[in-house]
Amino acid sequence: MNQNIRTTQGRHWRTGDWIEIRYDDRHILSTKTIPPNAAIQSWLAPGLIDLQINGYGGIDFQQDEVSESDFIQATEALLRDGCPRFFLTLITSPWSDMIQHLKRFKSIRDSNPRLKESCVGWHIEGPFLSEEPGYCGAHPPACMENPTLEHIRTLRSAVGNDPVLLTLAPERPGSVEAIEEARKLGIQVSLGHTNADNKALQSAAKAGATGFTHLGNACPQQLDRHDNLLFRAIDKGPWMTGIIPDRIHVSPTLFRLLHRLIPRDHIYYTTDAMSAAGVAPGRYTIGQMELEVGEDQIVRQPGKTNFAGSALRPSQGIARAADMLNISWRDVWEHFSETPARWMQLPTSLAPGSPSRFCRIDEHANKELTIQVVEP
């Protein structure tokens, strides 16, 4: 008999029913409705999943020598902040270096069961991005290049059958063929760091691109009022659209507008977190770039105004999204759990067979939330 079988009770995040969940080390075994109990105030919900983690808890995944203990430190910090699953994200650097880092991370993760449960996929954001100022963001233009079929095949070979998300700019030569090859190999393709025109967006969609990475970010502060990337992206959608819910990268007004214009089931949230997320303000790195993070959680290059990653915690993202939309956290939870998981074809729910790392949520009078990952 499995001695690690446990049960917990709470209210179902979507229905409001009181439920009891029975689970073991890996999966939910059963979920049943129980009689209402006013003494049970906590809510139970599927675990959060963040598709874009560049680093966390003081650890920069872009560095050459991230150790297993560093990897664990970042993972444990994410767990503490309510996020049991994530995609480790590598940003633009020389392609051979990116592949080498990716293989090394995969080797570390595959040898550690706890890491394997948490790091469930890989997000490759670059080097096939726009070099235009404003659109390149914190990515070094000197390392950017055009995608080829060989790039895509090398990427798939490096990670085996693991889920992969690739962000690219579809205006780069070779992008259509690269997208088609990626889809054949089971790689999801998202557009981002791009100033693609309507034709390029249409061609990318026809080739199989389905997502848009952190829309509202990775574009200049000032945009043409008649024709700009935001208008084009929304017009040529619906994409599975990532949004950073921190009130910084996307203003509350634009955040609300995006939720009105994009179908509900096509919005997912991400922190786009870098090493400063989950730790105190100070100076941190993302790759070769030193960044400064103030009390306001804004990540900038010292002396500059452009943003460079995020210090947002997943638990904060839920609370801030609900506040910007003036709705309950229960109405935004799916954007940070079920929606991205469905896109990446990963199981997530409170049904039998789903991962046993689900979340317990407690509401406080000031609208603050305590989000705790239930550990087997």
Q: Where are the domains of the chain?
A: 46-360
- Residue 177 burial (10 A CB sphere; 0-12, 13-18, 19+): middle
Percentage of the chain exceeding pLDDT 90: 82
What mean pLDDT do residues 358-376 have? 91
The set of catalytic residues is 272
pLDDT of residue 85 exceeding 70, the answer is: yes
What is the number of other CB atoms lying within 10 angstroms of the CB of residue 98?
A: 23
Whether the predicted model's global pTM rises above the 0.85 cut: yes
pLDDT of residue 308 exceeding 70, the answer is: no
Dist CA 342 CA 190 (whole Å): 15
pLDDT of residue 281 exceeding 80, the answer is: no
**If you classify domain 46-360 with CATH, what class do you get?**
alpha beta
Q: How confident is the model at residue 360 (pLDDT cuts 50, 70, 90)?
A: very high
Measured at the CA of 207, the angle between CA 203 and CA 210, to 5 degrees, comes to: 95
Residues pairing with 27 in the sheet:
355
What is the reported pLDDT for 368? Answer: 86
Q: Where is 53: in which H helix or E strand?
A: strand 49-53
Q: How confident is the model at residue 1 (pLDDT cuts 50, 70, 90)?
A: very low
What mean pLDDT do residues 120-124 have? 98
What is the reported pLDDT for 279? Answer: 84
What mean pLDDT do residues 327-347 have? 97
Residues ≥6 apart with Cβ < 8 Å to 102: 90, 122, 124, 155, 158, 159
